[in-house]
Amino acid sequence: MLSFYGVYKSYSSPYFALSNINFKVEKGEFLFITGPSGAGKTTIIKLITREELPSKGKILFEGKDISAIPRGKLYSYRRKLGIIFQDFRLIPYLTVFDNVALPLILRGSGKQEIYNRVTTALKELEIIHKARELPPSLSGGEQQRVAIARAIAGNPDLLLADEPTGNLDPLLSRKIMRILQRINMKGTTVIIATHDQSIIDEFGKKVIFLSYGKIKRIKT
Ligand code: ADP
C-alpha cells in the first residue's frame, strides 16, 4: 500500500531530518514508528500526508508516486487518509457532531450519508452523548475520541496518528490504543508515531525504530 524508497528530507541544508528511509506498509498492517524526540517521526507522517515533499527518494501510495500528485488533486489523495493530530485540532466553536461532519461536508457528501457516517463514528468511539457539545467542554480523552471519530468517519484506507496518546494518562492511553487496534482489525491500515515505549511494548507488532533521522532497525 505504502512504500518509502531511499527517502531523504532536509528542512535546512546540509542537515537531514531523514536519511535513506526505506520501508513498506502492507494493507491491513498496524505499524509503530518510534524514536526519541527529533528522530523524524512527525516528518515521516508529514511526508505521507504530503504536507512536506521529500528532498530525495520516492514515496509510493498504491503504486503511485505521491510527489507527482498535482496540488489540485491532493484532496482526492488525502480523502484516502484519516489523520489524528496530537493536539486534536478540533474547531472550538463547532459542535462535536459538526467537527466530525466537516471533512465530509467539504468533500460534498450528501446529508443522509453525513448523518449516518458521523453517527456511526461517534457511536464507535462511545462519544455520541456529547454530539451537541462544544469541544472545550470535553475532557482531553473525550476530545481525543472526537478527533479519532473525525479521522475514521470518511472510512479511510490508511489511518495516521501522530503521538495519539501524547497528552493522556496511561489508563486513557491504553483505551485509545485498544480503539485504534479495533479499527485496524476491521481492515484499516494504521500507522502510529509515538515515543511511548510502554505502549509499543504492550501493543507493538511491527515497529520502526528511528534515531537521528535514520532507521536503526525494523521489528516485524
Ligand atoms: P520527531 O517527530 O521524532 O520528534 P520531527 O520529525 O519533528 O521529529 O523532527 C526531525 C528533525 O527535523 C528535528 O531535528 C527537527 O528540529 C527538524 N524539523 C522538523 N520540522 C522542521 C521544520 N519545519 N523546519 C526545520 N526543521 C524541522
Q: Is the distance from CB of 219 to CB of 209 less than 8 angstroms? A: yes
Mean of per-residue pLDDT scores for the chain: 93
pLDDT at 166: 79
Q: Which of 138, 132, 141 is nearest to 178 (CA)?
A: 141
Ligand 1 pocket member 112 (CB < 6 A): no
pLDDT at 13: 77
Ligand 1 pocket member 12 (CB < 6 A): yes
Residue nearest to atom 15 of ligand 1 (CA): 38
pLDDT of 54-94, one tens digit each?
999 999 999 999 999 999 999 889 999 999 988 889 999 99
| Residue 195 to residue 175: CA distance in whole angstroms | 17
pLDDT of 160-212, one tens digit each?
999 988 777 888 888 889 989 999 999 999 999 999 888 898 887 899 999 99
Pocket test residue of 4, 10, 11 for ligand 1, highest count of atoms within 8 A of CB: 11
pTM for this prediction? 0.93
Ligand 1 pocket member 21 (CB < 6 A): no
Phi first, then psi, for residue 88 (nearest 5°) are: 65, -45
Which three-class secondary structure string do you get for the chain?
A: CEEEEEEEECCECCECCEEEEEEEECCCCEEEEECCCCCCHHHHHHHHHCCCCCCEEEEEECCEEHHHCCHHHHHHHHCCEEEECCCCCCCCCCCHHHHHHHHHHHCCCCHHHHHHHHHHHHHHCCCHHHCCCCHHHCCHHHHHHHHHHHHHHCCCCEEEEECCCCCCCHHHHHHHHHHHHHHHHCCCEEEEEECCHHHHHHHCCEEEEEECCEEEEEEC
Sheet order of strands, 206-211 included: 81-84, 158-162, 189-194, 30-34, 206-211, 214-219
Stretch 16-36: mean pLDDT = 96
pLDDT at 107: 87
Residue 5, strand partner residues: 58
Report the greatest alpha carbon distance in the chain.
Answer: 52
Which ligand 1 atom sits closest to the C-alpha of 45? 6
Of 22-31, 130-139, 198-207, which gets the smallest average pLDDT?
198-207
β-pairing, 64-65 with 214-219?
Answer: unpaired
For residue 99, give the C-alpha cell: 467537527
Residue nearest to atom 23 of ligand 1 (CA): 11
> Comparing 111 with 172, which gets the higher pLDDT?
111
For residue 87, give the C-alpha cell: 493536539
Q: How confident is the model at residue 8 (pLDDT cuts 50, 70, 90)?
A: very high
